[in-house]
Chains A and B, each alone.
Chain A
């Protein structure tokens, strides 16, 4: 499952309202072949102190399962407005989710972190199984996850 978002509605503070001050960033999440039903995966950003800043993408359409993305639920409050317009289908075992967003320059190399929470029906909930800094230095370097994520790569 690959899809690329070149531009999304500016529903969160993260996405640059003016393209001139922004940079396109690509997030590629590849799941392990864990062999279960599709995984719910959420990508979101916190500041250095762990304070929630906004959600990048929610893979998984049924709100009643969001409680299993527990860190996201905790820091974001789980409000529907947080993911309005940036929701897609859950990610199958072994599949890859690739999204590209225009992020404001101010977000980059400023101590912000991208978190990935995952959960699978009858499987595990993995809050913050990947946490990587939004640093250009880490561009293109795959990071492993503790749960269902095989690799997570941010490319600036």
Chain B
């Protein structure tokens, strides 16, 4: 629902709101410029003194006005010459004619009415309301994505468009709410939707005596220029006319002969509110606020562009399901619950594979669950989880619809999510719990797919095939990658003697030295996807180098029967692979000088070694690594020794499972180092873990008792980005 009111309306309104925002940005600097250009209005100068000083220079004065932009202007008549000039409020000296530049005028009219009349004003008013709705709904969406309102300031993960959209959105939200609320109010006021106070001043009769000099009038002497809005002078040919004195307090009529206050109409609360809203919207007289609002508005074009990119991507990701069987004829019902559409891509692959295997498959959104027919044999649920573990938009009504089913069929649940989030596959788990509690038989144990892993999906497909009694090959390519050719330059082999061959492989773009192509841009910890020949599904490896190093380095363990690792281990210098980069922004050292604790085992040292190599600034970095044997698979041994000497690496703790001292694992070193690690974490250290899942699990068990005394736990560190994993 939230997304429905945010995404498409945002796309449709992006252009108009961009015009309003950019003109708003241009206008927002005006108060600061005015502040520099206009002399400050001094406290302690009376209106009478200013009026007298001004009157001395002109034959006739119509009015003295303090404009919202801070300029004090005088409208005067000298014979046939009429004009408006700026004056110094302290001395009344003329500062030249007052005029608003044509540029400012056009920008203002573009901002408030798209250069048209009332129709344009109505459009900008509606635009302001739309901006308010977009800002509020966007903030709620972001909070939901990050795991609740309390998590709103945490780091945002995702594609560059998603990150920019989220970062700028939360940066600008407060300013945009203020601008759009006040703008909508001003628009409503301009159309008379908000009652305007126009209490007519009472008709009074002036004494009719000879006008006294303005400087002698008591009521004007008692009023400070700092509180003045406008002073109108009596018409020269009308002895019954009075001075009109308007201040923030209200409006007074002053007798031109006696200086007595003949009437006073106090400003109403609504008057004050209107004035305050005007200041809050324009920043006139509050130049800092103006600049802040301008900065917020400057984010709008980027929010529009990234929003359109996200919307387009989501649209493009929704696949068309070919040969979708009607629910009454389907033996297999496949339901998808997904906030975005990536899960639909997996569903389409599954649907296709099952159909080819002879099944009649009905694929639909979870909320579209229909009563099972007599031929329905099984239910497959593909459920993505949003940040805080809430039900995806297309699954909100699912559980209640499921409860109405008369027949129960075996069900398999496949959860999609991101292990980095605290509620990994939370919705899928919740659904499974509800199914189990209501006595639904399980077709397969639930499986979780981390970050759209095609491999994990394929594995689940094999398991499903086994249960169904036939082969089920799921080759899902989330987004067909654009690959580049890479050429192996050199390789270092380790671990053969201990039965665990690991190779450090270094690639570059093919071509002779001077003409070698440029590597795509990457950093240690990013992923390289490698397509084994003849297979569309990439395998991902963590990068051990940055593109600045001039080569692409990975560390690959040979797995028995592993298609891609076998292929890579068979490469000789000069051989080529097809590869592409996938950024892994979650696995990065946080900015700053806080210590880094790097923990890894086996080939997981690759990205960690890359991070150490990139640490030219000498930030404190402590590396814990576990291998098998110091004589056979001590990866990066010499390079790490050099980094220690050059202070890129502060300390190195190694553990070898087949070491001379009887064998130890990296988690043993962590447990043994508890006091030091606790102190580092207390100083704000960030922990990066890379390696196999078992190792990562053992590390969390070892670390948990270390951080507990600090009042912390690993989920907290994880959600604040201080504990990040790259686990396979």
Contacts and interface: CB of A to CB of B under 8 A. Distances in A.
Interface residues of B, number: 24
B84 interface: yes
A12 interface: no
Contact of A70 (B62, B190, B198, B237): B62
A77 B203 CA distance: 8
Contact of B241 (A74, A126, A147): A74
B115 to A, nearest CB: 11
Given A37-B105, A64-B198, A77-B200, A122 B241 contact: no
Interface string A105-123: 0000000000000000011
B63 A89 contact: no
A27 to B, nearest CB: 22
B198 A63 contact: yes
A71 B62 CA distance: 11
Interface string A28-52: 0000000111000000000000100
Interface in B178-206: 190, 196, 198, 200, 203
B235 interface: yes
B82 A126 contact: yes
Given A122-B105, A123-B84, A147-B82, A78 B200 contact: yes
Contact of B82 (A37, A89, A124): A124
B77 to A, nearest CB: 8
A50 B235 CA distance: 12
A70 B232 contact: yes
A140 to B, nearest CB: 24
Nearest to B233: A70
Contacts, number: 44
A89 B63 CA distance: 26
Contacts of A79: 200
B612 to A, nearest CB: 63
B200 A125 contact: no
Interface string B62-101: 1100000000000101001011100000000000000110
A37 B238 contact: no
A127 interface: yes
Given A63-B198, A77-B200, A125-B63, A50 B238 contact: yes
Given A36-B105, A50-B238, A63 B196 contact: yes
Contacts of A36: 100, 105
Contacts of B105: 36-37, 122
Nearest to A78: B200
Contact of A146 (B82, B190, B235): B82
Interface in A96-148: 122-127, 146-147
B85 to A, nearest CB: 11
A74 B238 contact: yes
A127 B235 contact: yes
A79 B200 CA distance: 8
Contacts of B80: 146
B117 interface: yes
A2 interface: no
A88 to B, nearest CB: 12
B198 A124 contact: no
Nearest to B191: A62
Interface string B378-399: 0000000000000000000000
A136 B427 CA distance: 88
A64 B196 contact: yes
Given A64-B196, A74-B241, A124-B83, 12 more contacts: A35-B102, A37-B105, A37-B109, A50-B237, A71-B235, A74-B238, A122-B105, A124-B84, A125-B62, A126-B82, A127-B235, A147-B82
12 contacts: A50-B237, A64-B198, A70-B235, A71-B235, A74-B235, A77-B200, A122-B100, A122-B105, A124-B75, A127-B62, A146-B80, A147-B82
Nearest 10 A/B pairs, CB to CB:
A122-B100, A124-B84, A64-B196, A146-B82, A63-B198, A124-B75, A147-B82, A74-B241, A124-B82, A125-B75
Interface of A: 35-37, 50, 62-64, 70-71, 74, 77-79, 89, 122-127, 146-147
Interface of B: 62-63, 75, 77, 80, 82-84, 99-100, 102, 105, 109, 117, 190, 196, 198, 200, 203, 232, 235, 237-238, 241
